[in-house]
Amino acid sequence: MTTSTPLLLADLTGVAVFAASGASAAVVKRLDLFGVAFVGFVAALGGGIFRDLVIDEAPPLAFADWRYAATAAVTAAAVFWLHPQLARLRTTVLVLDAAGLGLFTVTGTLKALDAQVPPVGACLIGMLTAIGGGLARDLLTGEIPVVLRREIYAVAALAGSIAVAALDASGHAGAAGLTAAAVFVFALRLVALRRRWSAPVATLRPPRTGTRGTHA
Amino acid sequence: MTTSTPLLLADLTGVAVFAASGASAAVVKRLDLFGVAFVGFVAALGGGIFRDLVIDEAPPLAFADWRYAATAAVTAAAVFWLHPQLARLRTTVLVLDAAGLGLFTVTGTLKALDAQVPPVGACLIGMLTAIGGGLARDLLTGEIPVVLRREIYAVAALAGSIAVAALDASGHAGAAGLTAAAVFVFALRLVALRRRWSAPVATLRPPRTGTRGTHA
Amino acid sequence: MTTSTPLLLADLTGVAVFAASGASAAVVKRLDLFGVAFVGFVAALGGGIFRDLVIDEAPPLAFADWRYAATAAVTAAAVFWLHPQLARLRTTVLVLDAAGLGLFTVTGTLKALDAQVPPVGACLIGMLTAIGGGLARDLLTGEIPVVLRREIYAVAALAGSIAVAALDASGHAGAAGLTAAAVFVFALRLVALRRRWSAPVATLRPPRTGTRGTHA
């Protein structure tokens, strides 16, 4: 609750960009105003609610501080009325999502460390904070979760959260270091998208008998 | 835990109607007895478990008080053996769901206010308590979540929770006012269903290039 | 946190077998290394995270004790690189899943009883701990949740958790009794799979008008 102002600003910026990503995805799916607001709300606040449940901050900030819900609602409504042309929306979702990924990785990992979670757990919580909203957005709108696609996504968040934990352990978790970590996640995600980087896929020997499941 | 008797009765009635809605939906999907019981259980208790996690009531009432699980199980079993004809089931699900929406909106908002959650957060928690079970039911049975369809659903719950918060703030949260709020949500939802009221949908300018996602 | 060594070993064994089941399911779906690790992580730790949220153990063991995440990650990576031939994977998933079901039923029920949850709630929490990871795995990989298929699954876990609660109430919850309960769930699940045992399905009178939803 005693969140510092820069951390609050980073958190609310993450809420806004994830709300915009969720709302854009919902507009693409032709949901109505409230469906757009709901998907925006879940994408923006779902990861943080999970984080706060896990570190036992009750009620979660999304409910304790009205500025979180208000930021998500205003952003989603703005996307609903002002959204650019459809073809541009898909790119917008991806870029906003990458920005939210970087911001929530940093704030999520920091909050978990502040709550005395050990480093390995704090990195996992930071990653899950960052990917949780997008995961919920994709489950709600019936898309294959972005985290399961063959792209660098969760791993960018995990690398960023390890960087934050290392900065924290070495006493360098100042504004400059944390901003660098957020930008690193954002840039890594965008470069991976643009160059279509992906992680390796398991090789499967051809099955002896015809079976379902061989198609990708 | 010190729930008053009327609030407990309202809560258990909400559990029963949502269990019946979940069980009916599961019967339509031809699930077996335990699948029907499980979907009934999740639809009835999912929203309340989420509410209790968020307001840090541990363990959630669904696990602390055996009457919750027993109400859900008995209702689901009754639906399994006594369910009316298939064609009637779909209407039954909708009406029961509307009743549960009204009851859980009121009890969820009140419990959050009792747990010292600020009004904006309490309204959101009340809404999520009311829509959570139906959302989980729809995700489990592979339906498009009712909350995302072009219908007045979450917004009816939100309006009801704002009414409860206003009654509470003005010292009028007695049995009469709260009953009126629950009936208001129930009636708003039924009228919206019958008149096919819906919220506006974003207009999309035609994309310059052919693209997926334009179909509803 | 003061988990006894045998309980910790049973818990970590459950983590490993569920991680292997999740990773195997992800390999079948052709997910990449990180998708495989993520599904393995969720399948292995999802049920336990839910259990710890519900009994208010914060942070959940999955984040508080690095050995949980490490066990899940190492197992998932091993499956990714060493997985046997595709045709065998499906059977492997089912057997590992049955073993995890038995182990998590026992440890989940015991932990809930230790946290002073009443017996009915503790049985439900034990069952949900056991089925939660597989449910999340199936939702993520787009399969019909195993718990909703016409098979003895959740009911095996529920029978096991009732056995654990009875052993605990009668003062016989020693290593022998608990091992027997875990083996009982495992065996019941495997026999049900092999003999295609299933629970009854509701009979539906034919609808008067043609309607969707009649197909299974």
Chain B residues with beta carbon closer than 8 angstroms to that of A140:
145, 148
Nearest CA in chain A to C35: A148
Q: Which residue has the higher pLDDT, C96 or B3?
A: C96
Q: Is residue C134 part of a domain?
A: yes
Listed residue (B197, B200, B134, B192) closest to A36, CA to CA? B200
Report the pLDDT value the prediction gives residue B198, as an integer from 0 to 100.
61
Packing angle of the helix pair B175-195, B5-28 (nearest 10 deg): 20
Determine the distance in angstroms separating the CA of B77 from the nearest CA of chain C, rounded to an integer.
10
pLDDT in tens, B77-129: 998 888 755 556 677 778 888 999 999 999 999 999 999 999 999 999 999 99
Report the pLDDT value the prediction gives residue B202, as an integer from 0 to 100.
64
Instruction: Identify the segments of chain A with pLDDT beneath 70.
Output: 1-3, 84-89, 150, 197-216
Q: Is residue A204 part of a domain?
A: no
The overall average pLDDT reported for chain C is 85
Chain C contact for A87, CB < 8 A? Answer: no
Task: Decide: pTM greater than 0.90.
Answer: no
Q: Which residues constitute the domain of residue B139?
A: 5-195
Chain A residues with beta carbon closer than 8 angstroms to that of B118:
63-64, 66
Q: Is residue B209 part of a domain?
A: no
Q: Are A168 and C48 in contact (CB under 8 A)?
A: no
Q: Is residue C209 part of a domain?
A: no
Q: Are B55 and B41 in contact (CB under 8 A)?
A: no
C71 pLDDT above the threshold of 90: yes
| Position C204 confidence tier, pLDDT thresholds 50, 70, 90 | low
Q: Is residue C206 part of a domain?
A: no
Interface test with B, best of A61, A86, A140 (most B CBs within 10 A): A86
Chain C residues with beta carbon closer than 8 angstroms to that of A199:
32-35
Pick C140's closest partner by Cβ from A145, A201, A206. A145
Of A145-149, B195-199, C119-123, the one with minimum mean pLDDT is B195-199
Distance CA(B19)–CA(B22), nearest Å, equals 5
B214 pLDDT above the threshold of 50: no
Report the pLDDT value the prediction gives residue A130, as an integer from 0 to 100.
95
Distance CA(B15)–CA(B69), nearest Å, equals 9
Structure tokens at B122: 């309490």
CB contact under 8 A, A154 and C34: yes
| Position C202 confidence tier, pLDDT thresholds 50, 70, 90 | low
Backbone region of residue C198 per phi and psi (left: phi > 0; alpha: psi in -120 to 50; beta: other values): beta
Report the pLDDT value the prediction gives residue C22, as an integer from 0 to 100.
92
H helix or E strand, kind and range, residue A8: helix A5-28
Give the three-class secondary structure for C48: helix
Q: Is residue C70 part of a domain?
A: yes
Report the pLDDT value the prediction gives residue B120, as an integer from 0 to 100.
95
Distance CA(C150)–CA(C201), nearest Å, equals 8
pLDDT in tens, C126-157: 999 999 998 988 888 878 787 887 678 889 99
Number of domains in chain B: 1
CB contact under 8 A, B140 and C145: yes
CB contact under 8 A, B154 and A38: yes
Report the pLDDT value the prediction gives residue A11, as an integer from 0 to 100.
87
Q: Rg (Cα) of chain A, in Å, rounded?
A: 18
Q: Which residue has the higher pLDDT, A8 or C106?
A: C106
Chain A residues with beta carbon closer than 8 angstroms to that of B54:
49, 53, 58-60, 63
Cβ within 8 Å of residue C195, ≥6 positions away: none
Give the three-class secondary structure for A28: helix
pLDDT in tens, B22-74: 998 888 888 888 889 999 999 999 999 999 999 999 899 999 999 999 999 99
- Complex ipTM value: 0.82
pLDDT in tens, C168-192: 999 988 889 999 999 999 999 999 8
Which residues on neighbouring strands pair with residue C32, listed in sequence order? A201
CB contact under 8 A, B148 and A86: no
pLDDT in tens, C8-20: 888 899 999 999 9
Report the pLDDT value the prediction gives residue B213, as an integer from 0 to 100.
41
Residues 50-69 of B with CB under 8 A from C: 53, 56, 58-60, 62-66, 69
Report the pLDDT value the prediction gives residue C179, as an integer from 0 to 100.
93
Q: Is residue C112 part of a domain?
A: yes
What percent of chain C clears pLDDT 70, i.e. is strictly above it?
Answer: 86
Q: Is residue C43 part of a domain?
A: yes
Chain C residues with beta carbon closer than 8 angstroms to that of A59:
none
Residues A119, A150, C136: CA angle, nearest 5 degrees: 65
Report the pLDDT value the prediction gives residue A193, as an integer from 0 to 100.
85
